[in-house]
């Protein structure tokens, strides 16, 4: 029966990926879960087995809840072909995931981060991280999208980046300002001079000529933030690299309000720009900045004064 379970997992993953989900972590977890069922002599998914596996030692309640969510998704699908499969109830493991408070970067802090990259050991590493930080700050791209960029994804003559198969399988175009085009062109000239034949087609590369790894980028980011003197503003508000994306979005909204443009139209545009599937993910940025909330309040007051 274990072979049938593994085949069912393969079918489930294929369906989910066809819908645009990456499923890398769920694939690993479901393989572990099926192995657990095999060792227990179970022939299908039950609530009891799913709960016991999910709360195995290691990790916090949020991680246990996530493991159960992965199993529940598979069990829901499995129940359509296996009447004996049980679907664990939602919220069987209580867990409230606290959302981090965005660390909104001031212009001088971004400048300090780029300057901090100047102290990195290798010239190519310096150029790579200075350009990477700058690109994230002015485009609002996800870190993963930036490090997946290939040379063919950049059209410097047209001033456009192509983001391919990003989150939920979505692709999009990002127009670039002339100064950003110049910065990217300068970086590519430097990296081609320092390493003429890298082993990858990636835009951003390591001194070894390989594509940047997500974990290494985050480790380097922590060094840059410390070197730039950035300090947590609270326990929930720490300088994260992802917050360059938040900062870009808030600044774009604030600029729109200050220029008297339609904030609703700007939000719709930003949702597409950022690659959000659900516009609610973009609306959340409205609450991220007191300065932005003040601008919204002023617009509301002006609208109320104009009413009879």
Write the pLDDT tens digit of every residue in 152-188: 999 999 999 999 877 766 789 999 999 999 999 999 9
Look up 66 and say whether it is catalytic: no
Look up 177 and say whether it is catalytic: no
Yes or no: say if 31 and 9 are a contact pair by the CB < 8 Å rule. yes
Question: Structure pTM?
Answer: 0.69
3-state SS assignment for residue 176: coil
- Of the listed 66, 129, 257, 285, which one is catalytic? 285
- Of the listed 245, 246, 251, 257, which one is catalytic? 245
- Of the listed 125, 164, 167, 222, which one is catalytic? 167
Yes or no: say if 75 and 45 are a contact pair by the CB < 8 Å rule. yes
Q: Each residue of 259-304: pLDDT tens digit?
A: 777 767 777 788 878 887 666 666 666 555 656 555 555 554 555 5
Q: Each residue of 4-30: pLDDT tens digit?
A: 899 999 999 999 988 878 898 999 999
* The pLDDT value given to residue 76: 95
| Edge-to-edge strand ranges of the sheet holding 172-175 | 154-155, 160-163, 172-175
Alpha-carbon torsion 122, 124, 130, 133, what sign? negative
- Of the listed 49, 72, 142, 251, which one is catalytic? 142
Look up 276 and say whether it is catalytic: yes
Look up 142 and say whether it is catalytic: yes
- Of the listed 6, 164, 222, 242, which one is catalytic? 242
């Amino acid at each position: 029966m274990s072979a049938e379970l593994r085949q069912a997992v393969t079918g489930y993953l294929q369906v989910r990926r066809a819908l645009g989900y990456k499923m890398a972590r769920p694939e690993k977890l479901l393989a572990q879960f099926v192995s657990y069922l095999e060792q227990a002599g179970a022939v299908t998914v039950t609530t009891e087995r799913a709960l016991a596996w999910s709360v195995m030692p290691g990790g916090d309640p949020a991680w246990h809840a996530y493991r159960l969510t992965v199993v529940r998704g598979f069990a829901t699908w499995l129940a359509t072909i296996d009447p004996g499969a049980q679907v664990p109830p939602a919220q069987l493991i209580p867990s409230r995931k606290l959302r981090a408070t965005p660390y909104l970067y001031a212009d001088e802090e971004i400048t300090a981060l780029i300057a901090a990259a100047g102290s990195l050991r290798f010239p190519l590493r310096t150029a790579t991280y200075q350009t990477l930080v700058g690109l994230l700050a002015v485009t609002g791209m996800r870190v993963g999208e930036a490090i997946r960029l290939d040379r063919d994804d950049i059209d410097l003559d047209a001033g456009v980046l192509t983001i391919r198969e990003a989150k939920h399988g979505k692709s999009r175009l990002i127009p670039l300002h002339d100064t950003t085009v110049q910065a990217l062109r300068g970086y590519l000239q430097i990296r081609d001079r320092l390493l003429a034949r890298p082993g990858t087609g990636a835009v951003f590369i390591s001194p070894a000529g390989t594509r940047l790894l997500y974990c290494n980028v985050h480790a380097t980011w922590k060094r840059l933030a410390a070197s730039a003197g950035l300090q947590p503003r609270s326990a929930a508000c720490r300088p994260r690299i992802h917050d360059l994306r938040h900062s870009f979005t808030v600044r774009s909204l604030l600029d729109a309000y200050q220029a008297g443009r339609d904030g609703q139209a700007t939000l719709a545009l930003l949702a597409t720009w950022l690659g959000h599937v659900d516009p609610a993910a973009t609306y959340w940025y409205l609450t991220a900045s007191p300065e932005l909330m003040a601008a919204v309040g002023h617009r509301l007051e002006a609208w109320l004064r104009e009413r009879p």
